[in-house]
Amino acid sequence: MSLVALSCSFLLLSQPVSAQSVTKPETADLTDGTITNGVCVGGTTHANILDGSTSAWDGSPAVQFGACSDQFAITMAINQALSHTGISIDKLHYKWKWINGCFNVTTEDGTIYCDQDISNRLDENFKPTGEYADQFDTLNIVVTVTDANGNVVETKTYDYDTWYHWAQENSHSDSEVVETHSDGELTYSTVWQVTEDFIEFFNHQTGAGTIYTPNQLGNVSFVTTGQDNGQWEGFYGPVVKDGEMWFTYRTNPCDLDALYHPTCDGYAEAYTDYLYNQACLASPLYDSGCSGYSAAFLDQQCTLDALYDQQCPMYQVAYFNQQCDMDSQYDVACPNYQPEVVEEITAPPAIIVEVIPEPIVIPEIIIVETIVIPEIEITPETAPVEEITTESIEIEIAQLEAEIEDPVEPEIEEPIEDEPAVDETTEPVPEKEKDPEKEDSEESTETETNDEPVDDKQTEDIPKKEEIQPVIVEKKEPTKEEIQKKKDSRNAKIKQLIADKIAEITKEVNSADTIEEQMIQQARLVALIAFVPDFDYGEMEVPDIFFYPPEPVVDHEFARWFVNDPTFGAMEDLQYPNLR
C-alpha cells in the first residue's frame, strides 16, 4: 500500500471510537431447531433431540445422531437478539459442546468398539486411517450470517474429523470439559470437546471489514450434519449440545462521521464534499462556490491592478499616482510637481478718472391711434348693461395690438439709461465681443482705488485637488441562475475530483500488500464509483453491491504457483490494459 493510502486510512480512522460492549450469552433453545432426515444406508435411526428429562448426556438437552445422514438447523434473527439502536456490530460470538469419538467399526468377523485397537486406526494427528477410515463418524457445523436482503455476509465451517475419546480426557485436545451425572447407583463422566469462536464484521484497528447495524444484518444460522458411519442401530453417532451466542458492539462511528470508513452510509457524498472543501481550503479561487471566493477574487484582481475596483485597499494611492503620471501638476503632492515662478509686477500709481456722462435726450414718441366707433342706435334692448371705463378700453387696445402683425414696421430702440445719445444719422456699429483679458484689466482698474492690488492669476494657478466621492456598493441577492451556475460548477469540480481519486485508488489496490488492505481500498473504490452528485434515491431501496462475494480464502500450492508464474503479469496487462 502506498504512503498516500496509508495516510488516508489513518485519517479516516483517527476519530475517537467508543468502547466495546458485550451482550450476555444467549443459550439456544433446541426445540426451535429443525431436523431434516437424509439418506439411510445400513441403519435406520434418524437424529433425535433429547429434552434433558433423562440422565443421558449429563441431563442436558442435546441433538444425537444415528446411522442416517441427517441435518439439524437452528436460525435466529440478529436484530431481535440485539435490539439496540445507534450501534454497530463488531463481532458475533458462539460456542457449543460436541462428542465424536466413538469409532465403532463393523467387520466381517465381528465388531471393533470405540477405542479398541485405536492406535492402528489413527495416524499421528489422530485422524482416521487404514481400511476402516470411512466408518469414522461424520460431524460438521456450518455458521452462516446473512444481511437484511438475504445475501450471505460471512460463513465458517467446522469439520470434526479428529478422534477424541468421549469418556477419557485427551491430551491432544485444545479445549474440553468433563461433566458427571448419575444413573441410579452408577456415576458417569463425559468428556465434551468445546468449540468457541467468533465472526468479525469490522476491525477498528486495521479498518478491515464492513460496519453493520443490527437492522442491516439478517439472520445467523447453525446447520449441523451428523452420521454414525458404523451404521449401528440406535444413537451411537455424534452429539451436540449447549449452543450459545452473544455479540460485541459499540456506538456506531458512522453516525458521528460518515468519513469514518467507506462502508458507512453516505461515505461517497461526504468524501466528495471533503475533497471539494480541501480544494477550496487550499485556494478559495478553486471554484466560484467556495466560501470566500468573492473576497479572494477581489484580492487577486486588486493585486494584479490596484485600480480594478474602488474597494481595493490601494485604490486611492494608485489613482493618485496614475493622475500624477498623466499630469505632474495634478497636485502639489505629486513627486514631479513643479511650482510656477510668478514675477513680481509693480502696479503703476492709481489714476482716478472721473467720467461725467452726457445727458441723455430721450425723444418723445407720441402714438396716435384713431379708434372708429360705429354708430349704433341705442335702444332699451341694446343698451349696455356694464359701464364702459378707461380700463376696459385699454384692455381692448392691448388685444388689438397683439393681433396686428406688421413685419415691415421699424424697430424702435428704447433708450438706455446712463448711455450717450446715439446719432440717428450714423450707421449702427455692431457690438464687439468682449475680451476676457480686457475684462480683467477693466476689473483691475476698478479695484485700483484699493490700498493693495489683488493678483487673481496667482490664485488661479494653484490647482485644486479633485475630491473622490465615496462609492456606495449595493449588495444584490444572487439570482436562481447564478445559484444554479455555482451548483453546476461545484458538481463538475466534484466529478473531476472523484475521477482523479478513483484512478488513484485503482493504483493503490494494485499495490496493496495484504488482502485486508486491498479490501479497504476496494470498498472506497465501490463507494466512489456508485456516487452521483445530488442524486436522490427517494423511497427506492439502494441496491447492495458486493465487489467480492464472500468465499473462503484459497491458499494452496497451485494458487501460489499461479501468482508466481512469470507470465502472470503479462496476462494481467492483457486483461486490464487501462489499469497501468
Measured in degrees and rounded to the nearest 5, phi and psi for residue 27 equal -80, 135
Lookup result for grid cell 465458517: 156
The 3-state secondary structure of 215-272 reads HHEEEEEEEEEEECCCCCCCCCCCEEEEEEEEEEEEECHHHHCHHHCCCCCCHHHHHH
- Over the chain (580 residues), the average pLDDT of each successive run of 10 is 37 61 93 94 91 84 95 95 91 96 83 87 92 92 97 96 91 93 80 96 94 95 95 91 96 93 92 93 92 91 90 90 88 86 68 68 58 49 44 54 49 48 45 48 44 48 52 68 84 83 84 81 79 63 56 62 71 69
* CB burial of residue 269 (10 Å; 0-12, 13-18, 19+): middle
Residue 75 confidence (pLDDT):
96
Question: Where is 524: in which H helix or E strand?
Answer: helix 515-529
Contact 27, 247 (CB under 8 A): no
Residue 253, strand partner residues: none
Nearest to 233 by CA among 65, 36, 61: 65
pTM > 0.75: no
Domain ranges, ordered by start, for the chain: 18-260
Residue type at 70 in one-letter notation: D
d(CA 296, CA 135): 83
d(CA 274, CA 531): 14
Half-sphere exposure of residue 438, counting CA atoms within 13 Å on the CB side? 4
Residue 361 confidence (pLDDT):
64
* CA-CA-CA-CA torsion sign (33, 36, 42, 44): positive
Measured in degrees and rounded to the nearest 5, phi and psi for residue 214 equal -55, -35
Residue 535 confidence (pLDDT):
61
Give the rounded distance of the alpha carbon of 415 from its chain centre: 92
Rg (CA), the chain: 57
- Cell numbers representing residue 356 in the block: 461725467
